[in-house]
Amino acid sequence: METLATTFIGPLAALTAALFWALATLLYSQAGSYLSAAQLNLVKGIVACPLLLLAGWFSGQLLQLQGNLATYLLLASGVIGITLGDTLYFAALRRLGPWHTMLLEYLAPPFAALLAWILLAQGMHWYEVAAALVIIAGIFVVISEKPRSAERVQLSVSGVAAGIGAALCQALGLVMSFHALQEFDMNPLNAALLRLLAGTLALNIALVLLKPSLIKSTRAALRHTSIPWLLTAIVMGTFLAIWLQQTAIAYINPGLAQTLLATAPLWLIPIQWLRGQPLSARSIIGALIAVSGIALLFGIQ
């Protein structure tokens, strides 16, 4: 029974994190767009770090820094995946819009699988590769369809570069976290806390050195932002999602974990339907393809 539970913890954690990211995406759009990419990244880290500290304290798993390789790997992965990766993602989102940004985001699963194979000699089983390809195909069908109301977005070189850079940073950060969790005695909550602390601290230092005016203007931008929507998005999309993300990669291969984490657009389909928006045949077909890939993964395991 314990082996069966362990088998499903990783995939379920990744899928739940994807659900929270989907909900957070909608909530961020409700909160307003007065915060820049760096400001939004900064605010979410400042809010989520104390929440992870409290969760660690109440659960008796509060972090104890030991100065080992795992600690340094997680700190570095936080700087790469959160400071750089999330800032580049938000920058791409502002330049390209959500649909093109999500298309570029699907470079992250193959990046993660390739990096894990090169750096850690971590290959994927044939059925994991097959399931991942089916899932990615289904997601691509869904997100390659633009909403009828969407305005035509002019693709920019800087936006495309930011999107590719975000996918690469997220994949590299995920692989580094995977190595730390697999090789050392580190629980997912502490890993999430270390990554977020490092990412937020590095972003603060970078802004102080490069653009201190951005920190000062953050308070003014928050006055024009819906604080309840923003806080709810941060709790779901950062505090809970990064905890679940670290839980997922503690149990499954980085390439597969990144594939399941990338299913956020699928969760948007029933959410939008519940909000009264009609579903297209293409989105339903794409969702069914991706779900069949997920079913293949769970069925074989």
User: Band of the pLDDT at 254, cuts 50, 70, 90?
Assistant: confident
Cβ(246)–Cβ(186) under 8 Å? no
**pLDDT tens digits for 203-223?**
889 888 888 888 888 888 888
Give the mean pLDDT of the chain. Answer: 81
Per DSSP, the residues of 216-236 read HHHHHHHHTS-HHHHHHHHII
Residue identified by tokens 């839980």 is 247
Residue 156 has pLDDT above 70, yes or no: yes
Burial letters for 86-108: b for 16+ Cβ neighbours within 10 Å, e otherwise?
bbbbbbbbebbbbebbbbbbbbb
Tell me the whole-structure pTM to 2 decimals.
0.80
Residue 86 has pLDDT above 80, yes or no: yes
**pLDDT tens digits for 196-206?**
989 899 988 98
Cβ(198)–Cβ(82) under 8 Å? yes
Q: What is the pLDDT of residue 256?
A: 82
User: Band of the pLDDT at 77, cuts 50, 70, 90?
Assistant: confident
